[in-house]
Amino acid sequence: MGQMSEQVSDKRLVLVTGPSGAGRTTAIRALEDMGYEAIDNLPLSLLPRLLEGDAPQTPLALGVDVRNRDFSTAALIEAIDRMGSSVAVPMQVLYLDCRAEILQRRFSETRRRHPLAPAEGAEMGIAREFDLLGPIRARADVLIDTSEMSPHDLRAELGHWFGPKTQGRLAVTVQSFSYKRGLPRGLDMVLDCRFLRNPYWDAALRSFDGRDPRVQDYVGQDARFVAFRAKVIDLVKLLLPAYEAEGKAYLAIGFGCTGGQHRSVTMSETLAAALAEAGWQVSIRHRELERRGQIEPAIATGTQDAEWQPGKGDDQR
C-alpha cells in the first residue's frame, strides 16, 4: 500500500504525544505525508505564539514529549486546555501508548538510552515517564496502543483516524496474513483460506508467493476455488455500498492462511483486482511478505525515539 497522495483538506490540529519509543516520530512523519504541517519538539512556552492570529490554513501536527525544553505535566495540560478553548480549528490529542515490556525491548534492540534515565536502565526511565504522562493519557481524544503494531500498522491506523477523505468514497484495504502471527489489527472482515490447495507442498512453487501466476493457477485448481472466489466477490460488492451509505470511510478485509504466503496472497490479489475493476478505491497489503523482506513496507522506518522494525523470518507452511 503506497503513501497517500491525496492531501488533507480540512483544518485541524493534532497534538501527538506518548512515551518514548511508542512511535511518536513515525506518527509525525506519517501525518506529514498526509499533508499536515508537522512541528516536532516545540517548547511548550512557544505554543501560544505559534497559534496566535488567523487559524492555520493547513492541518497542523505538533509533537510533544518529555524531551521538550520546558516540559511538565501541568504545563502540557494547561497548553491543551488553552488550545482547546481558543484555537479556531478542531484540536485532538493523539496519545501513542505501549506496554512497558515492549518499550524495554525496543530500547534494548536500538541500544538507545532513555531520556529520563540516561545513566540507568531503560526500565527506570519508562516508569518515570509513565508517571509523568498518566494525566495526559487520560486527556487523550485518540489513544493508539502500538505494542503489537509494526510501523505500517501504525500508519494505517493513523490514516483511518486522520487521513484524507477521498471524494467521499469508501477506501478499501485488502490484506493477507498468517494465522500463526495472529489477526492484523483493525480488520472489519476476515476470511480463512486454509481449506484451499496449498502450494507449499509443491517444491517447485514453495519459494514463490501468491502474486505469481503459477501459484495462482495451482490454488485455482482446487475444486472449491471458483465458487469461493465468486461468492466472496459478490458478498463484498453487496456490502460496500451499504457501508458507504452508513458513512464508513475505510474498510479493511483480511485473508488468512497458515504461512501468509500463497493462498491468502492469491485471494487478496484476486479480490483487489475485482474491486478495482468495479471502480472502488482499493489498496493491497501482504503482511508476511513485508516481514520477510519479499516486498518493501509502505512506510519508512527509523531509529529515532527507539522506533521499531518489523520482524523477519517465519515458517512458510
How far apart are alpha carbons 244 and 170 in whole angstroms? 6
pLDDT of residue 54: 62
How far apart are alpha carbons 130 and 133 in whole angstroms? 5
Q: Residues near 163 by Cβ (< 8 Å), separated by ≥ 6?
A: 4, 8, 34, 250
pLDDT of residue 47: 73
Segment 135-166, tens digit of pLDDT: 888 878 888 999 888 888 888 888 878 876 54
With contact defined as beta carbons under 8 Å apart, do 257 and 200 qualify?
Answer: no
pLDDT of residue 167: 47
pLDDT of residue 71: 74
How far apart are alpha carbons 199 and 219 in whole angstroms? 7
* 3-state class (DSSP) for residue 64: coil
Q: Would you say the pTM of this structure is higher than 0.95? A: no
Q: What is the 3-state secondary structure (H, E, C) of 112-165?
A: CCECCECCCCHHHHHHHHHHHHHHHHHCCCEEEECCCCCHHHHHHHHHHHHCCC
Element (H, E) at 97: strand 91-97
Going residue by residue through the chain, which has 317 residues, state the pLDDT in tens, using 9 for 90 and above. 333 334 444 567 888 989 988 888 899 998 988 888 888 887 777 776 776 666 566 888 988 887 766 677 787 787 777 776 655 666 788 999 999 888 888 887 777 778 767 778 778 888 888 888 888 888 788 889 998 888 888 888 888 788 765 445 778 889 999 999 888 877 889 999 999 999 999 999 999 999 999 999 999 999 999 999 999 999 999 999 998 887 777 788 999 999 999 999 999 999 999 999 998 988 888 989 887 766 644 432 223 333 333 333 333 44
For the chain, domains (ranges, CATH) are 13-162 (3.40.50.300), 171-291 (no CATH)
Q: Residues near 271 by Cβ (< 8 Å), separated by ≥ 6?
A: 174, 232, 233, 236, 253, 255
How far apart are alpha carbons 47 and 29 in whole angstroms? 20
Q: Residues near 130 by Cβ (< 8 Å), separated by ≥ 6?
A: 19, 100
